[in-house]
Each structure stands twice: as structure tokens, then as C-alpha cells.
């Protein structure tokens, strides 16, 4: 009886083992990364005038043997990336054509940036994002930039130092600009899709400084001071899917203030005897927008709270005195207010509500919004009253209260 139970128990264990093997899928459908052509960046430009060549698409593919350090000392210096370009009536067709040239199947999930040529942006970019949103191979979390004055293909061919993959360099520069300088925001593909659907969008630009042909050489990345560089510059105002205007300087930073995207920045204030001689590091900022309707007209109030510290002075000031700090805070308030006013004025002239102010009216006064939404950007927004209230505080003066400067 004991032997019989033992055999039954053993048979049961064997049966469970066989059954479990049947349900273990393992990695039968897995693929190694070296089996793919990993795309780090994608660029889209205007193709030809005929419908068959509507778009010219460029992909930047990583050379894994170079990036991983596989190249031996003394061997010929190869580029860490390679670009392929093709035209097609759709982006999908152009990418299919590139597949015939690429060494392996194109791999899209690692895309770090999408670049759009200025010529195409002026004609319209509404249709570009359908394949990105529809195809599950794409992830929509990569930033989108407009190439100022050049094609996306040109920008993707510029070699970069320090970060050997140009797409990674562009993405890093964009994040640095957003988080430290505060002049240009980072707009992801999903955010661009949403904003374009609402009417207007602000998308950061990138500029090629130097000769494009020299930038397309590995020697460019070996120079201490590169002959050709990529620089984050300009804020493209997109209305009805088309590039209408570029913003730079104060108006561009004003957009960042209003959109509550300010992380850090530096503001220059005046000394009594010298202009722009005091640097204030802004370390905290917040924007609050309120909207209401008075006498059948919208009134919008933008409140901005900013905190900063004195990081540099080029004049003798008594920073230990309250009246000195209050005077600097007053200057700081005025400077921020001027930047915001410059942005509001410019965009009202362009009839482009990239701030999404209409949505605040929709939240507060839905019935009123239903009456005006079809003519908001064209007629109502340009004439709307926008009040700007800035509260600025200087919390610290650095390691020294009194400067050695006399």
C-alpha cells in the first residue's frame, strides 16, 4: 500500500513537470538588439512637388560597435551614426524604402528626437503625426523641434563632440535649455498632437551654426572648437498647423513664464550706475491663470510668483539692507512683467493662443465659450484684456552680503 502511494505521488510530480513545460513560453519570439537598426532620431522635410514624393524622411541609425567601444585603437575612425533618406507620398512609404538600405529591421522605440524642416513647417505639419500616433512601434514621448533655416536631414547629419550620437546631444541640450536657461520649452510628440488639435502650438527650434558640409564629417567632432554646431534657438509659433513666426529673447521666455514651464533662469538687473550688472538666479516659479467674463467680454488674469537669489554683482550695493532688497525685487517684478507683456502682445498680433487661455474661459463660462469658440483666436483673443500680476521675492544674497567692489 505504501509502495503504491509512493508511485502515485511520483507519477503526479512527473505529470506536473510535463504540464508546466507546455505552458512555459520562454523567449521563443525574442530578438537581440544587434538584430535591429536602432533609430535615434527621425527628420521630416518637404519632398518634391509631385504627390509621389510629398515627404523626404531621414533616420539616424546608431552604429552599435562604435558606441559600445568596439572600435580598436589605431583603426579608421568611423561615425557613431549613419543616416538614410528616402522620399514617399506618406511617411510610412519613405520608411519602407529606407528598410531596403538599412542593414537590419528599423527599430523605432528608442527615438530620442523628431526634427521638422522649416520649409515643410511653413506648408503645414498637421498630417505628420498620424503615423506616430497610430503605429504601436512608435512612442510619443520624444521631443519635437523645428529646424530653423535648414532641413531636418542637414541637422541629423551634423556630427557632435562629447556626446557622439547627435540625437542624444540635441535632446540633452534641449533639456538643459529648459531646466537651466528657461527660454525654450520641450514639446513632446503627444503634446504637439494635442496642441495642434486645439489650434495653436509653440515648438522649440534648432539652428545649424556653420557649414553643413563640414558638419557632415567626423573631423568636426574631433575639433576642440567645432566648426559646425547645433544650437537650441527660437520658438516656432504654429497656427492652423503652419509656422507663422519665430520668437526669440524676451517674448520666447515670456511664453515659458505664462505656460508655467519655468524651472530655472537668470535675470539681469541694473545697478544705480550700471545696466544689467546684477544677476538673479530664479530657482522657483509658478504661474496661475484665472478667467472671467465682464460685460460679455473675457478678462484674463495671469499671476506669476517667482523666487530668486543674488548670484553676481558688478557694483557696490548694501545687500544687507531691506530697502536694497526691495528695490531689486521691484526691478525683478518689472522685468518679468515686461517679458510676459511682450509675449502676450506678439501672440495677440499673430492671433495665436499658444497659452491655451481659451480653455480657462471654457472652464469658468461654458455657455459663453460655446458662443465664441469658433472665433476665439481670430477675433476675441486679439482684443481680450489680459492682466499681469507678478510677485517676486529675493530670498538669498549668496555667501557674501557686501561686495569687495567699491
User: What is residue 73's predicted lDDT score, i.e. its pLDDT?
Assistant: 39
Helix (H, G, I), strand (E, B) or coil at 268: strand
Q: Do the beta carbons of residue 166 and residue 226 sit within 8 Å?
A: no
Are the CB atoms for 247 and 279 separated by under 8 Å?
A: no
Nearest 5°: phi and psi at 142? -85, 150
Q: What is the pLDDT of residue 227?
A: 87
Question: What residue spans define the domains of the chain?
Answer: 34-65+78-247, 249-406
H helix or E strand, kind and range, residue 337: helix 322-350
Q: For residue 282, what pLDDT is reported?
A: 95
**pLDDT score recorded for residue 198:** 84
For residue 107, count other CB atoms closer than 10 A to its CB.
18
Contacts of 178 (CB under 8 A, 6+ apart): 184, 185, 186, 261, 263
- pTM of the complete model beyond 0.85: yes
User: From CA 244, how far away is CA 202, in angstroms rounded?
Assistant: 10
Q: Which of 156, 161, 153 is nearest to 219 (CA)?
A: 161
Neighbours of 48 (CB within 10 A): 11
Compute how many other C-beta atoms are within 10 angstroms of the C-beta atom of residue 211: 13
- The answer to whether the CB of 292 falls within 8 A of the CB of 364 is yes
pLDDT at 90: 94
For residue 368, the surrounding DSSP H or E stretch is helix 366-372
Closest residue by Cα to residue 278 from 268, 286, 263: 268
Q: What is the torsional sign of CA 245, 251, 256, 259?
A: negative
pLDDT score for 74? 37
| Domain 249-406 coded CATH 3.30.300.210 | yes
DSSP state of 188: B
pLDDT at 197: 86
pLDDT tens across the length of the chain (406 residues):
555 554 556 566 666 666 565 555 555 455 565 678 999 999 999 998 888 899 999 999 998 876 665 444 334 367 889 999 999 999 999 999 999 999 899 999 999 999 999 999 999 998 899 999 999 889 899 999 999 999 999 999 998 888 888 999 999 999 988 888 888 999 999 999 999 988 899 999 999 999 988 888 888 888 888 889 999 999 999 999 999 999 999 999 999 999 999 999 999 999 988 999 999 999 999 999 999 999 999 999 999 999 999 999 988 888 889 999 999 999 999 999 999 999 999 999 999 999 999 999 999 999 999 999 999 999 999 999 999 999 999 999 877 766 667 6
How far is the C-alpha of 373 from the C-alpha of 382, rounded, in Å? 13
Residue 181 phi/psi, 5-degree rounding, is -90, -35
CA distance linking residue 221 with residue 160, whole number of Å: 5
Q: Are 279 and 264 spatial neighbours (Cβ–Cβ below 8 Å)?
A: no
Q: Quote the pLDDT of residue 13.
A: 62
In DSSP terms, which residues pair with 84 in a beta bridge?
59
Phi, psi dihedral angles at 5 (to 5 degrees): -65, -40
Cβ neighbours of residue 393 closer than 8 Å, sequence gap 6 or more: 305, 306, 307, 308, 329
Amino acid at each position: 500500500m505504501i509502495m503504491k502511494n509512493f508511485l502515485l505521488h511520483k507519477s503526479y510530480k512527473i505529470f506536473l513537470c510535463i504540464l508546466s513545460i507546455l505552458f512555459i513560453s520562454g523567449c521563443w519570439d525574442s530578438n537581440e538588439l544587434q538584430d535591429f537598426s536602432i533609430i535615434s532620431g527621425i527628420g521630416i522635410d518637404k519632398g518634391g512637388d509631385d504627390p509621389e514624393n510629398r515627404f523626404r524622411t531621414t533616420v539616424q541609425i546608431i552604429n552599435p560597435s562604435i558606441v559600445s567601444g568596439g572600435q580598436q585603437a589605431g583603426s579608421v575612425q568611423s561615425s557613431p551614426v549613419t543616416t538614410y533618406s528616402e522620399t514617399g507620398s506618406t511617411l510610412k512609404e519613405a520608411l519602407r524604402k529606407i528598410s531596403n538600405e538599412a542593414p537590419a529591421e528599423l527599430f523605432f522605440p528608442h527615438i530620442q528626437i523628431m526634427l521638422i524642416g522649416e520649409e515643410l513647417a511653413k506648408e503645414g505639419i498637421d498630417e505628420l503625426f498620424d503615423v506616430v500616433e497610430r503605429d504601436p512601434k512608435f512612442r510619443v514621448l520624444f521631443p519635437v523641434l523645428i529646424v530653423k533655416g535648414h532641413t531636418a536631414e542637414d541637422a541629423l547629419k551634423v556630427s557632435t563632440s562629447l556626446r557622439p550620437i547627435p540625437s542624444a546631444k540635441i535632446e540633452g541640450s534641449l533639456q538643459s535649455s529648459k531646466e537651466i536657461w528657461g527660454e525654450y520649452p520641450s514639446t513632446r510628440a503627444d503634446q504637439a498632437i494635442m496642441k495642434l488639435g486645439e489650434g495653436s502650438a509653440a515648438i522649440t527650434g534648432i539652428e545649424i551654426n556653420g557649414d553643413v558640409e563640414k558638419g557632415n564629417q567626423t573631423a568636426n567632432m574631433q575639433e576642440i572648437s567645432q566648426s559646425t554646431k547645433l544650437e537650441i534657438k527660437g520658438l516656432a509659433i504654429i497656427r492652423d498647423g503652419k509656422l507663422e513666426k519665430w520668437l526669440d529673447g524676451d517674448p520666447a521666455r515670456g511664453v515659458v513664464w505664462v505656460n508655467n514651464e519655468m524651472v530655472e533662469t537668470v535675470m539681469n538687473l541694473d545697478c544705480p550706475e550700471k545696466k544689467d550688472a546684477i544677476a538673479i538666479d530664479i530657482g522657483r516659479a509658478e504661474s496661475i491663470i484665472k478667467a472671467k467674463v465682464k460685460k460679455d467680454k473675457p478678462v484674463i488674469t495671469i499671476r506669476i510668483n517667482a523666487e530668486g537669489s543674488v548670484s553676481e554683482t558688478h557694483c557696490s550695493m548694501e545687500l544687507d539692507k531691506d530697502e536694497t532688497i526691495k528695490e531689486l525685487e521691484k526691478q525683478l517684478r518689472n522685468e518679468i512683467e515686461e517679458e510676459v507683456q511682450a509675449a502676450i502682445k506678439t501672440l495677440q498680433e499673430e492671433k495665436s493662443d499658444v497659452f491655451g487661455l481659451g480653455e480657462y474661459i471654457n472652464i469658468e463660462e461654458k455657455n459663453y465659450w460655446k458662443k465664441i469658440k469658433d472665433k476665439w483666436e481670430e477675433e476675441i483673443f486679439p482684443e481680450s484684456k489680459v492682466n499681469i500680476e507678478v510677485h517676486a521675492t529675493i530670498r538669498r544674497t549668496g555667501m557674501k552680503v557686501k561686495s569687495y567692489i567699491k
